[in-house]
Amino acid sequence: MNTSDKISMKTEEVLRVELEFFRQEHSDLDQAITILSNSAATDRLMLQRLKKKKLQLKDKIKRLEESTYTRYYCLRYIPIILG
């Protein structure tokens, strides 16, 4: 395994950890939003901010997933195709 492969694997691991962290944060926000929505004394502004942050996290997760897929595809299959 050469140095670029080691760096690539480390980068992939960092991306996986980041994805897991953002997914957990998204789930936590979802639970908080559900609890606040069911509360009688809900702060609507706070609820809107949480929903916006949840949507931003969803977008970030999607970008990371696409980046991870593209990186994986390019690193694994392009060299094989090019021979």
DSSP 1: -
pLDDT digits (tens, 9 = 90+) for 13-67: 888 888 999 999 999 999 999 999 998 887 889 999 999 999 999 999 998 888 7
pLDDT digits (tens, 9 = 90+) for 31-42: 999 999 998 887
pTM value is 0.69
Domain span holding position 14 = 3-82
Looking at the structure of the chain, the number of domains it has is 1
Closest CA to 74 of 2, 1, 4, 3: 4
The residues, any chain, with a CB within 8 Å of residue 53's CB and separated by 6 or more, are 29
**What is the distance between the alpha carbons of residues 58 and 1, in angstroms, rounded to a whole number?**
35
User: How many residues are given for the chain?
Assistant: 83
